[in-house]
């Protein structure tokens, strides 16, 4: 989870720098809500994966696949709720969400891969 918090800290710095150098038109005003969603989901993802690792990878694959399905369902629900509430600049919101979705997904896969490599060496 600490690596995810470091990643989130870097993203917060990038968001502030984008505002400072005049690239804030590329970020949706609700970027903090999107980022909060991914931080909360990453916390749940890490807890679910820890439960999968407790069984010495016996249940790891079902736990991982459940987390992927859970991420997709939560993302669709989150976007649906935001759009239903009359969100302005919908295309920008979806583009920002998609970029952060890919960013966090790639990071979690990279982090998971390094954890699996460490566990396979033991």
Distance between CA atoms of residues 99 and 2, nearest Å: 21
Secondary element (H or E) of residue 31: helix 31-54
pLDDT at 91: 92
- 3, 78, 80, 82 from 85: Cα distances, Å: 33, 11, 9, 5
Read off the pTM.
0.79
90-121 and 31-54 helices cross at what angle (nearest 10)?
A: 20
Give, for all 122 residues of the chain, the pLDDT tens digit.
677 778 888 888 888 888 889 888 888 988 899 999 998 988 887 777 777 667 666 677 777 788 888 889 999 999 999 999 988 899 999 999 999 999 888 888 887 777 666 555 55
Distance in Å from the first CA to the final CA of the chain = 21
Domain ranges of the chain: 2-121
């Amino acid at each position: 989870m600490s690596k995810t918090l470091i990643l989130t800290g870097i993203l917060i710095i990038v968001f502030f720098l984008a505002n400072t150098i005049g690239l804030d038109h590329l970020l949706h005003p609700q970027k903090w809500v999107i980022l909060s969603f991914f931080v909360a989901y990453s916390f749940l993802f890490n807890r679910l994966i820890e439960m999968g690792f407790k069984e010495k990878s016996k249940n790891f694959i079902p736990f991982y696949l459940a987390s992927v399905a859970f991420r997709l369902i939560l993302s669709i629900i989150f976007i649906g709720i935001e759009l239903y509430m009359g969100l302005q600049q919908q295309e920008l919101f979806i583009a920002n969400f998609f970029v952060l979705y890919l960013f966090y997904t790639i990071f979690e896969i990279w982090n998971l891969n390094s954890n699996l490599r460490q566990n396979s060496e033991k």
